[in-house]
Structure 1
Amino acid sequence: MPVGLGPSMTGYLSLFAVAFLAATILPMQSEALLVGLMIHGQHGVLGLLAVATVGNVLGSVVNWGLGHAVLRFQHKRWFPASPSQMARAEMWYARYGRWSLLVSWFPVVGDALTVTAGVLREPLWSFVAIVGIGKALRYGVLAWVTLVWIG
Structure 2
Amino acid sequence: MSEKVLTTEITEDAENRHAINCLTDAVIGAAIEVHRALGPGLLESAYELYLCRELPFRGARFERQKPIPLNSKDVKLDRGYRADVVVGDAVLVELKAVETLLPIHEAQLLRYLRLSGLPAGLLINFNVRLLKQGNKRRLLDSVRSVAF
TM range (shorter): 0.3 to 0.5
Bigger helix fraction = 1
When normalised by structure 2's length, the TM-score is: 0.37
When normalised by structure 1's length, the TM-score is: 0.36
Bigger strand fraction = 2
